[in-house]
Amino acid sequence: MSEFLPVFFLCAMGLALLVYVILDGFDLGIGILLPFADEHEKNIMVASIGPFWDANETWIVFGVGILLVAFPQAHGIVLEALYIPVTVMLFGLILRGVAFDFRVKAGDDRRALWNTAFFLGSLVASMAQGWMLGSYVTGLQPSGMNLAFSALIALTLPALYVMLGGAWLMIKTEDELFEKSVLWTRRAWLPMGVGLLLVSIATPLVSEQIAERWFTLPSAIGLLPIPLSCTIAFFGIGWLLRRPDILRAGYAVIVFSALAVICVMAALGLAYSIFPDIVLGRMTLYEAAAATGSLQFVFWGVAVTLPLIGGYSIYVYRVFSGKATELSYE
């Protein structure tokens, strides 16, 4: 039991953060795309994420909460090393939340200001999350190469979020905004691919442990499904984006699903690369875990809360399925 519980909490935390990246990723991506739409389209874009806003952000709260209660020592190390980017991310998320409401309530004369705030909050939060991911992969060590790697992921992650946002808009919108969404997603496709390729090349260069796990036999053969599935998904997305007639027929969800596959495969690759460490090269999950009695107590809370949050999210997405209409606060 003492060995099972840390693994359970690590899986639950990883799942929560993965779901957050996919779901709140399209929220952030739509915020980044906002300046490229006209005023009527902006209202529909914001409306397309309105019902899902809180449900999406619940996942990051849940994931960080597990880190705090199940791995308190790792929580201290991670938050100490990432204090500045975490603060920047929270600033961006708060700015987005305020702008979401104020862009309508403040009146037409101030709407452009709050639209800009929504865009900036989305971009800042996305880049901060990319920086944190890069720092985590490099073991939270502030060397020159590691900082360059963090900056690379900070530039790459917004491109993925733009792809997710564009794919979501293709699912939720029609007519001219649909056509623009296809164009935006197509333009972000190559930058995202180049970014992911550079990250894939740089990751083993900045971590000897990751390089050893990925490029030694027989592990290298067993891990082939991860890069192969990502490659197939990436080029499949590119093929679909050049065939808008297929997307109009209701198959835009395939683009979103393929992006989700890339996220899942990347998460599995990261998990394999660092396990059983929770802070690469510094602390294993067993060293970081709270006392067994504490984990047993918290286990039931997580075991109940996780399916409840998942069920609530599924319910919200089912209730508000279909095409988005212009946002109203009446």
Q: What percent of the chain has pLDDT over 70?
A: 96
d(CA 14, CA 170): 28
Give residue limits of the domains in the chain: 8-319
pLDDT averaged over every residue in the chain = 86
Q: Are the C-beta atoms of residues 164 and 122 closer than 8 Å to each other?
A: no
pLDDT in tens, 116-146: 899 999 999 999 999 988 888 887 887 788 8
CA atoms within 13 A on the CB side of 77: 20
Is a pLDDT exceeding 90 seen at residue 24?
no
Buried b (16+ CB within 10 A) or exposed e, 241-256: beebeebeeeebebbb
What's this model's pTM, rounded to 2 decimal places? 0.90
Confidence of residue 183 (pLDDT cuts 50, 70, 90): very high
Confidence of residue 328 (pLDDT cuts 50, 70, 90): low
Is a pLDDT exceeding 80 seen at residue 107?
no
Number of Cβ within 10 Å of residue 89's Cβ equals 22
Beta bridge partners of 283: 279
